[in-house]
Amino acid sequence: MADVKPKLLVVELWGLGDLAIASPFIRAAAEKYEVTLLAKPFAKEMRQRFWPEAEVIPFTAPWTAFAFGSKYGFWRWPWAEMLGVRRELAAKHFDYAVSARWDPRDHFLLKAVGARERIGFSRLKSERYLTQALVRPEPVAHRFEHWRKVGSALGLELPQSSQFSPGNQPKPQVVLIHSGARLPLRVWPLKNFLAMAARLREKKYIVHIACDPDQLGWWRDHGENAICPKSVTELLSCLDGAGVFIGNDSGPGHLAARCGLPTFTLFGPQLHEWFLPLHLDAEWVEGKACPYKPCSDYCRYPTPYCLWKITDDEVWPRIQKFVRKHLQENVTAGSTTLP
């Protein structure tokens, strides 16, 4: 009779990049545990590619909303749905439940579903909901280091954030530029991305443009046949057609790294030490100094000058070297239409 795996609940309720960073942990955990992942609905699209043995329960937590004032409008929260999710999770009788966030809301959820062992990083006395409160990594540690600590508590050995190898699969000789990001303060001006695309094409590289919905009109007005992925599945298709990724500090960049692409990231209000994509060949440009940096969701100034003051002339030598390193030189310039 086969050994029965312990049941493990993994909670990661935030963005695409957060879930991509958690992916190595989820994949490793699924080898030893019967994993259930509570995450946003796009996790179901990621499941088959990254952790097919995990079960996904989709849930959009109201406190993860980014519209001002909507996080804590408790009277507008979907209480019936939330209670239904709690009942569904409680019925699974988890042996372990974990969160890598120092978030009391996550910890209360772990307690509410009745998991026997609850592991996380305490904040605001949330250790009352946990059975094992872990010590947080160093302040400048990468976000993935929190998952490494959780993994260690579960008997999992995970590589350091700087040790993820790119793999040996051949990649198309294509540069994918993605100009979007979940938050406007993390978006480098589109005119700068346009300048990068033009310079790369002058060097005979094939360049594809992907963007967010609110950017599509601008790109097409400037002569680019850009595409706007409407789902994670469509985004994965774009990434599979590329050899390197250039973009903002955003979810698509983290997903690109998990697909094995070298990434070049333009950081503004955040620190690369925290959120550099997990890839041995990940490169970056740091945002300009600001007394309020790092920022999470909002900027205190009319424009995020930490990012906007990075010029295309300043970045071009780094991007040219990055692309030359990972793609063949003098490839034939081709269509800018994405498949």
Percent of the chain surpassing pLDDT 70:
93
Q: Which amino acid is at 167?
A: G
> If you search the block for the tokens 């909002």, which residue do you land on?
298
- The upper half-sphere exposure of residue 4, i.e. CA atoms within 13 Å in the direction of its Cβ, equals 4
Q: Is the pLDDT of residue 240 over 60?
A: yes
How far apart (Å, rounded) are the C-alpha atoms in residues 10 and 260?
24
Q: Is the pLDDT of residue 64 over 90?
A: no
- Structural contact between residues 223 and 217, judged by C-beta atoms closer than 8 angstroms: no
How far apart (Å, rounded) are the C-alpha atoms in residues 204 and 62?
47
pLDDT score for 133 = 96
Look up residue 129 and give its two tokens.
């909901």
Q: Which string of b and e fits 300-329 if b means at least 16 CB within 10 Å?
A: eeeebebbbebebeebeeebeebbeebbee
The residue-averaged pLDDT of 245-259 equals: 97
Q: Which amino acid is at 166?
A: P
- The upper half-sphere exposure of residue 271, i.e. CA atoms within 13 Å in the direction of its Cβ, equals 11
**pLDDT-derived band at 205, boundaries 50, 70, 90:** very high
pLDDT score for 329 = 54
The SS3 assignment for 239 reads helix
pTM: 0.92
Q: What domains are there in the chain, each with its CATH number?
A: 7-163 (3.40.50.2000), 174-326 (3.40.50.2000)
pLDDT score for 72 = 60
pLDDT score for 68 = 46
The residue-averaged pLDDT of 129-151 equals: 95
How far apart (Å, rounded) are the C-alpha atoms in residues 176 and 256?
10
Q: Which string of b and e fits 156-187 if b means at least 16 CB within 10 Å?
A: bebeebeebeeeeeebbbbbbbbbbbbbebbb
Q: What is the mean pLDDT of the chain?
A: 91
The residue-averaged pLDDT of 196-206 equals: 97
Q: What is the residue-wise DSSP string for 206-236? A: EEEEE--GGGHHHHHHTT---B---SHHHHH
Q: At what angle do helices 16-32 and 251-258 cross, to 10 degrees?
A: 30
Q: At what angle do helices 251-258 and 232-240 cross, to 10 degrees?
A: 50
CA dihedral 132, 133, 139, 141 (to 10 degrees): 10
Q: Is the pLDDT of residue 338 over 50?
A: no
